Structure 1
Amino acid sequence: MNLSVSKAQSTVNISYNVSFPEAQAHYADIEMHISGLKQNILDLKMPVWTPGSYLIREFAKNIESFSAAAGNRPVVSPKINKNTWRITTKGIPAVTIKYRVYANEISVRTSYIDASHGFLSTSGIFIYPANMLHHPSTIHIKPYKDWAKVSTSLEMVNGDPFTRVSPNFDILFDSPIEVGNQDVFGFDASGVKYEICMYGGGNYDKERLKKDLHQIVEQETAIYGENPNKHYVFIVHNHLKGGGGLEHLSSTVLGASRDAYSSEKGYQNFLSLAAHEHFHLWNVKRLRPIVLGPFDYDNENYTTNLWIAEGFTEYYQGIAVRRTKLYPPENYLDVLAGEFNILENLPGKNVQTVAESSFDAWIKAYRPNENSANTTISYYNKGAIIAMMLDLEIINSSKGIHSLDDVMKYMYTEYYKTQKRGYTDAEFKKGFEKFAGKKLDDFYKKYINGLTPIDYDKYLGYAGYKITDELATNNDAALGVTTVTAPNKKVIVTSVIRGTAAYIDGINVNDELIAVDNNAITDAATMLNDKKPGDKIEVSVMRDGLPLTLPVTLLKSTRVKYKIDSVDNPTPEQLLVRKKWLSL
C-alpha cells in the first residue's frame, strides 16, 4: 500500500448496525456505514473461511438483498466475483451498505439465529473493505424482542453491552458474538476475568464448573508464564446432542450435550474440550505457523504444521486436566490409549503422513467420504501421539529437568513475543532439539514426513509403561464393513475397510446387506456369530435395486484395542520420568 492511500484511509470510519427483525426465520439485517472515503473504487468482501476451521465455506452464499447508497441516492454495487461487491466512490465521501444474512447452520463455526438467540460467527456476518483489514470498527446490536445480553470478547463502548468496538478486522473475525438471554457467570484466574455463557440450558453445576475451569486455566497459564488476555469468554451451546469447539483470540465456542454434565465421563469430556480450546489462546492464536496470520480471507492458507497447532493442543487438553488432579492418572492413560486405537485402526496410517494431513486439511479433513479411513489420518490424533513421544523423549533425555512445556514456552517467547511473527517448520524442529539435546532428523523422517509404525513401547517405556492389545488373542472373523440400519430396518454398508474380506471380494459402499448363506440379516452385529476366519460364505446384497450374491472368504479381524500398563518393577529412572510426565 502506498503512503497516499494509507494516509487517505486513516480518516475512514466504519460501523455496523446489526438487527434481527426476522430472527424466527434465521435472519440478521446488517447496515454498514463507511465515511471519510477519498478513493475512486471501494471493494467490499466477505471472508470465504473462518480461522481455525480449515475449509472454504463460501459465507457469501448466505447474503441476500445487498444494496448501497450515498445519502438517499442509490449507488450501483455490482458483484464482481463470488465474495466481492464493487462500488464507484469517486466524489462520494460516505456510503451505507445494507444486506441480510441467513443463519441456520448449527455448529461452532457458523452463525445460527432463531427466536431464542443469535450466534454470530463474525467472519460469516461482516463484510469488510478491501485493503482495510487494519481498520477499527464499531458494532451496534439491536436485540430481538426480549433479548437482554451480549457475550463477546469485544470491548464495550461507554459501558454499553450492545455497542462493541474492534481494533481491526482480524480481531473482529476472531470474536464471535452471542446475543440473547444466556446464563452468564464467571471467575477470575491468572489475573484474567473469565466469563462463561451458557445457551440452551443443561444440568451443569455452576460452582463446580467455575472451580474446575479455574484450575485448568491456571495449569495452562503456568506452561507459558503469562496469560495475554484481560477478558476471556467461553460461549457454550448446549443441545440435545452437541460437540466440537472453535478457538478464538480471547474466547472460544463450545458445543455440548445439555444433559451430559451429570455423568463423570460426560463432565470430563467437557473439561477436556474446554481445556483444548483454551490452550489455543497460546498455541495457534499467538504461537502460530508463519502462514496463519496475517490471514488471507479469500483463499486457503496452507501449512504442514497443523499437527503442532491442533495435535499438540489435543495432547495438552488431557495433560491439563490430569494436572488438576481432578481425575486419577488411569483416566488419562485410558484417554491416551484411545488415541492409539484411533490411529492404529485406520488403514490410512499407511498412506498419509501427518505433514500431508496438515497440508491437505482444506480438501480432506473437513470433507470426509466413505473411503477416508483408508486414505487419511487426523493431524489432531497423530499430532497428539507425536506430542506424547516428544514429551517423553525430552523428559527422559534431560533426566526430568525439561519437558515439552519448555519447548512451548520457548517458542512462544521467541517467535510471538520477541520476533512478533509465526514460526517455520524448521524453527519448531530446532526448538524440539534444543530441549531434547539431540538432532531429530531421523524422528522427522520416520514420524512427521514418513509412515514408520510408531514404537509405543519405546516411548512409554521411558516412564515404565507398555501397551497391551486386549484383542490380541481373539480369533474373530470379520467382514470389514461399517453399516447403518435405516428406519426401514435395511442394513446399509457405509464404508469398506482396505485389506479386509469385504474389500478384497467386492462388497461396496451403499450395498444393502440382505443375507449370509441365505440367512436373512436383521442385525449387522450378529451376522457372523457362528463364523471363523477362513470360512467361505455367500453374501447376498441389493445394489442399485438389483440382487447380487458375492462369494466372500472371511479373514481374521485386525482391529486392536490397546491399554497402557505399568511394566514390572519400573526402575528409579523410569519412575522419575513418570512423575514428571503425569504430575504424580
Structure 2
Amino acid sequence: MTTVATSAFAAPRIHFEVSFKEPQAHYAEIKMEISDLRQDYIDVKMPVWTPGSYLVREYAKHVESVEACDADGAYLPVQKISKNTWRIASNKNSSVTLSYRIYGFEVSVRTNFIDDTHAFLSPAATFMYVDGMIDHPATVTVIPPAAWSTISTGLEPVSDKPNTFHAADFDILFDSPIEVGNQDVFTFEAAGVHHEIAMVGGGNYDKERLKTDCATIVEEATRIFGVNPNKRYVFIVHNYQSGGGGLEHLNSTVLGASRNGYQNERSYVGFLGLVAHEYFHLWHVKRLRPIALGPFDYDAENYTTSLWIMEGFTAYFDNLLLRRCDFLNESNYLQALSTDINTVENRAGNKVQPVALASFDAWIKYYRPDENSANTSVSYYNKGALLAMLLDLKILAATQGQKRLDDVLKMAYNEFYVKKQRGFEEHELQSLIEQVAGVPVADIFKAAHTVEPLDYNSYLNAVGYELVNLNDGREQADLGITMSTNDGRTVVTGVNRGTGAWDGGINVRDEIIAINGERLDANGRELNRVLQTATIGDELRVLVARDGKIRELKITLGKDTKGAFSILPLQNASAAQEKLGKIWLSLD
C-alpha cells in the first residue's frame, strides 16, 4: 500500500473525465487526474465486483491502453502488478494523469453498456481508485457525444461546472451509476424526496400512471421506517425487447424492463414489484446491513451468511408493499407467497443447502448456476422471503397484532445505522426481534442454518390461514427430467436428484430418441403419453444419443413427489385468528 502525502502539501485531488470517441464500438475513454499526491509511485486499482451483486466480475478485463503522464505531458512508466492493479512511477510529481479505455457491451444492471445511442456506466467497472484512498473525494466530468443531451445519476452536480459531479468518497462514487444519452426524464415528489425516472430505450409506459404508482410505493416504504434518508432519488430504467432485473444503490437504482410490457397488467405489476424491491433496499442493505457488508473490500469477496435476511426480507416486503398499495388483491398476494413455497419445496437443493450457506456461497454459486444447481442449492431470495413471512406471522401472533416485522426493521435501522453507525451481527438482529416480539425466534434463525423442513402451518394457522398441498394423495409416475425441444430433437436439460432418471443414469444433454421402442415425435409428445399411462415402478427402455453414441438405459419410474402448495383460509378459524389475518393482509 502506498503512503499518502504529508500535510506539508495540499490535500490530494482526484478528478475523472469521461468521453466517447468510439461509442459505436462500445468504448469510453477515461482520464484520471491525480493532483498533489507526491509519491515515488502510485498504485491504482479497478474493483473486481460491485456491491449488491455478489460475484467477482473481474472488471479489469475490459481495461486497455493504460498510460500515464505528468503535468507537462511527459510519459510516466506504468506497470501492471496484479490482475486489477497498475503502478505509476510518479516520481513525486505533483500532477499525474492516467488514461485508459474501457470496453462495455454487456446488457445487465451491473456492467457497462456503450453503443451509438447511449452509455450506461457502472462505476465499479469504470473508475479506478488510488490504493488506500477509498475514503477520498472525487469529481467526474462527462463529455457526451454531440448527439447526446442528458446525464442521469445520483451523484451531486458541481454547480459551476457543466456535466461535472462530486462524490464525497469512492464508496459513494462506486454506488452511483451514470446514464448518458437521450433518455426520457420525468419527475415526481413523494415522502419529501425529489424523484427522477430516466427511461432508456422507449416503451409503451404511461408517465402519469408510473409517477402516481411509484409515489405510492415510496410513501408506503417510507412509512415503515419513518424517515426517508434522501433528498433526491433516481430510477434509471433500461427498456429492452425483453428485460428484467435490478440493482440497488444509495440514492438510485437501475432497473431492466420490457419496453412493451407496461400495458399488460401482469407485466406492469411485476415491474412495480421490482420498483418496490429495489426501493426497499434504500434502507435494508444500503444502510441497515450486516457488519460484513461495509466498509467494502473491492479487491475480493465480502462474505456474509445473512443475504437471506437482506435479500430475502426485501423479497418478502416487495410483494407486501404491492398488497398494501392495493396493486395486488388478497388472492394474488397469497398466490405470490404460494409460488415462493412451491419454488423452494419442489427444489431438491432445499434439502441439501441451508439458506445461510446459500448466502455465503453466493459468490461461487448463485450467479454461476449449472445443470445441477437445482439439486444442490436454494435461493436466498425465495427461502429468505418465506422465513421473513414466518417471522412476521410469529410477531403478529405474539403481540396480538400490535407489532410485526415492520417494527423490527424500523428499530434495527435506528439502532444500528443511525445510533451505532455500523452493521449488525445476525445474533444481534435475532435479539432485537425477540425484544419486539417478547418470544424466542430461535426456531426461525435455526431454520436458516439447517435443511430441516419448515412447519408453515404452525405460523399460518395463528393468523387464520393454512398451507394445503393439492397433490396430497396423488399417485403419479415421474421420470425426473426436464427437457427442451429444438429442431425436432428432445434434449435433457435437467435431472432431478432421487428420481428414476437420476438413479438410471440419464445425463443432461442426452438426446432422447425413443421410449420402449417407440420413436419420439418432433415435440416429444410420445414421452408424455407414456408417462400419462405408466404406473409407479414401471421400467422404461430409454434410447438416447450421447456424444454421438447410441445407448439404451433402463429407468424405473418413481413417484412424482412435487407438491402443489396453496395458502387458503383456515376452516373454522377463530375470531382472534381472523383478526390477525386481516391485520397481516390489510391495506393499512
| TM band (smaller chain) | over 0.9
Matched AA of 1:536: E
Partners of 1:310 and 1:466 lie apart in 2 by 25
Specify the SS of the correspondent of 1:431.
helix
Matched, 1:428 2:429: yes
In the other structure, the counterpart of 2:244 is 243
Quote the offset at 1:137 in angstroms. 1.1
Partners of 1:50 and 1:443 lie apart in 2 by 30
In the other structure, the counterpart of 1:352 is 353
Give 5+ residue unaligned stretches, structure 2: none
Partners of 2:173 and 2:359 lie apart in 1 by 26
- 1:548 corresponds to which of 539, 548, 551: 551
In the other structure, the counterpart of 1:32 is 32
Quote the offset at 1:434 in angstroms. 1.0
In the other structure, the counterpart of 1:464 is 464
Matched AA of 2:392: D
Quote the offset at 1:523 in angstroms. 2.4
In the other structure, the counterpart of 2:512 is 513
Quote the offset at 1:469 in angstroms. 2.1
Partners of 2:4 and 2:123 lie apart in 1 by 30
In the other structure, the counterpart of 1:498 is 497
Quote the offset at 1:160 in angstroms. 5.5
Distance 1:334 1:7, change over 3 A: farther
Cα distance per residue 1:313-371 (max 9 Å; x no partner): 00000111111113311111110000000001111111111111111111111111111
Q: Which moved more, 1:203-212 or 1:563-572?
A: 563-572
In the other structure, the counterpart of 1:393 is 394
How many residues in Structure 1 have an aligned counterpart in Structure 2?
A: 582
Specify the SS of the correspondent of 1:107.
coil
Matched AA of 1:191: G
Q: TM-score, normalised by structure 2?
A: 0.96
Quote the offset at 1:556 in angstroms. 2.0
Quote the offset at 1:515 in angstroms. 1.1
Quote the offset at 1:118 in angstroms. 0.3
In the other structure, the counterpart of 1:21 is 21
Specify the SS of the correspondent of 1:194.
strand
In the other structure, the counterpart of 2:577 is 574
In the other structure, the counterpart of 1:208 is 209
Cα distance per residue 1:385-411 (max 9 Å; x no partner): 000000000000000110000110011
Quote the offset at 1:518 in angstroms. 2.0
Specify the SS of the correspondent of 1:540.
strand
In the other structure, the counterpart of 1:285 is 286
Partners of 2:525 and 2:384 lie apart in 1 by 32
Q: CA RMSD in A?
A: 1.6
Partners of 1:8 and 1:262 lie apart in 2 by 63
Specify the SS of the correspondent of 2:106.
strand
Quote the offset at 1:53 in angstroms. 0.4
Cα distance per residue 1:120-170 (max 9 Å; x no partner): 011000011111111111111111231100111101111656211111100
Quote the offset at 1:538 in angstroms. 0.6
Distance 1:526 1:330, change over 3 A: farther
In the other structure, the counterpart of 2:264 is 263
Partners of 2:161 and 2:473 lie apart in 1 by 66
Quote the offset at 1:452 in angstroms. 1.4
Matched AA of 1:543: R
Alpha carbons 2:2, 2:41 under 8 Å: kept? no
Aligned pairs (5 A) from 1:68-467: 68-70=68-70, 71-158=72-159, 162-445=163-446, 447-467=447-467
Quote the offset at 1:443 in angstroms. 3.3
Quote the offset at 1:493 in angstroms. 1.1
Specify the SS of the correspondent of 1:220.
helix
Q: Which moved more, 1:55-64 or 1:431-440?
A: 431-440
Partners of 2:101 and 2:349 lie apart in 1 by 43
Matched AA of 1:574: Q
Alpha carbons 2:308, 2:356 under 8 Å: kept? yes
Alpha carbons 1:480, 1:500 under 8 Å: kept? yes
Distance 1:156 1:378, change over 3 A: same
Quote the offset at 1:193 in angstroms. 0.4
Matched, 1:52 2:55: no
Matched AA of 1:497: N
Q: Which moved more, 1:24-33 or 1:159-168?
A: 159-168
Distance 1:490 1:69, change over 3 A: same
Partners of 2:171 and 2:415 lie apart in 1 by 22
In the other structure, the counterpart of 1:531 is 534
Distance 1:578 1:366, change over 3 A: same
Partners of 2:9 and 2:565 lie apart in 1 by 60
Partners of 1:259 and 1:340 lie apart in 2 by 30
Quote the offset at 1:39 in angstroms. 2.0
Partners of 2:476 and 2:102 lie apart in 1 by 53
Specify the SS of the correspondent of 1:186.
strand
Partners of 1:357 and 1:190 lie apart in 2 by 35
Matched AA of 1:356: L
Cα distance per residue 1:280-317 (max 9 Å; x no partner): 01001000100111100001000010011100000000
Cα distance per residue 1:211-233 (max 9 Å; x no partner): 11101100000111000001111
Specify the SS of the correspondent of 1:468.
strand
Quote the offset at 1:91 in angstroms. 2.8
Partners of 2:325 and 2:243 lie apart in 1 by 25
Partners of 2:4 and 2:195 lie apart in 1 by 42
Alpha carbons 2:179, 2:236 under 8 Å: kept? yes
Distance 1:167 1:525, change over 3 A: farther
In the other structure, the counterpart of 1:479 is 479
Matched AA of 1:510: R
Partners of 2:362 and 2:63 lie apart in 1 by 26
Distance 1:160 1:182, change over 3 A: farther
Q: Which moved more, 1:176-185 or 1:450-459?
A: 450-459
Matched AA of 2:51: P
Q: TM-score, normalised by structure 1?
A: 0.97
Quote the offset at 1:448 in angstroms. 1.5
In the other structure, the counterpart of 1:42 is 42
Partners of 1:463 and 1:60 lie apart in 2 by 52
Distance 1:12 1:257, change over 3 A: same
Alpha carbons 1:112, 1:119 under 8 Å: kept? yes
Matched AA of 1:50: T
Quote the offset at 1:471 in angstroms. 2.9
Matched AA of 1:578: G
Partners of 1:8 and 1:571 lie apart in 2 by 76
Distance 1:413 1:101, change over 3 A: same
Quote the offset at 1:7 in angstroms. 3.8
Distance 1:552 1:9, change over 3 A: farther
Partners of 2:20 and 2:274 lie apart in 1 by 31
Give 5+ residue unaligned stretches, structure 1: none
Matched AA of 2:454: I
Distance 1:121 1:8, change over 3 A: farther
Percent identity reads 50
Specify the SS of the correspondent of 1:32.
strand
Partners of 1:539 and 1:438 lie apart in 2 by 55
Partners of 1:385 and 1:365 lie apart in 2 by 18
